[in-house]
Structure 1
Amino acid sequence: MLGDSTVLIVEDEADLREMYRHFIEGKVNTLREANDGKEAIEKWDEDVDVVVLDRRLPQKYGDEVLEEARERGLDAPVIMVTAVNPDRDITDMGFDDYFTKPIDRETLVEALKDMLERDRMKDEVREFLSVAEKMNVLQNNHAEHLLQTHGEYQELKHKYVQLAEDLKENKASLSEEERVEVVKAEKQVQAA
Structure 2
Amino acid sequence: MSEEPPVVLIVEDEPDLADLYAAWLQTDYQVRTAYGGREALDEIDSELDIVLLDRRMPGLSGDEVLVALRERGIDCRVAMVTAVEPDFDIIAMGFDDYLIKPVTKDALKKTVSNLLFRNTYDKGVQELFSLSSKKALLEAEKGNSALEANEEYQELTARIEELRDELDRSIGEVSEHDEFVNMFRSIEADADTDAAAEFDDSDPFGGTQ
Unaligned runs of 5+ in 1: none
Q: Does the Cα contact within 8 Å between 2:19 and 2:33 map onto a contact in 1?
A: no
Name the structure 2 match of 1:24. Answer: 25
The percentage of counterpart residues that share the same residue type is 37
2:125 corresponds in structure 1 to 125
CA contact (8 A) 1:77 1:115 kept: yes
Q: How much has 1:75 moved relative to structure 2?
A: 1.9
* RMSD, aligned CA: 2.0
Give the Cα separation in 1 of the matches to 2:58 and 2:74. 21
SS of equivalent to 1:51: strand
Unaligned stretches of 5+ residues in structure 2: 190-196, 200-209
SS, match of residue 46 in structure 2: coil
1:81 corresponds in structure 2 to: 81
Compared with structure 1, are the counterparts of its residues 77 and 34 closer, same or farther at alpha carbon in structure 2 (3 Å cutoff)?
same
In structure 2, how many angstroms separate the alpha carbons of the residues matched to 1:139 and 1:185? 18
> Which whole-Å CA distance do the structure 2 matches of 1:156 and 1:79 have between them?
19
Residue 155, structure 1, aligned to residue 145, structure 2: no
**Greater C-alpha radius of gyration:** 2
Find the aligned partners of 1:17 and 1:38 in 2 and give their Cα distance.
15
**Contact persistence 2:12–2:53 (CA under 8 A):** yes
In the alignment, which residue of structure 2 is the partner of 1:5?
A: 6
> How many residues were matched structurally?
187
> 2:205: which partner in 1?
none
TM-score normalized with structure 2 length: 0.83
Residue 181 of structure 2 corresponds to 183
Distance 2:163 2:49 in 1: 24
Q: Note the alpha carbon deviations across 1:16-47, whole angstroms, 9 max, x for none.
A: 1111011112211x211111111112101110
Partner of 1:101: 101
Contact 2:77 2:115 in 1 (8 A): yes
8 A Cα contact 1:125 1:182, kept in partner: no
TM-score of the aligned structures, taking structure 1 as reference length: 0.90
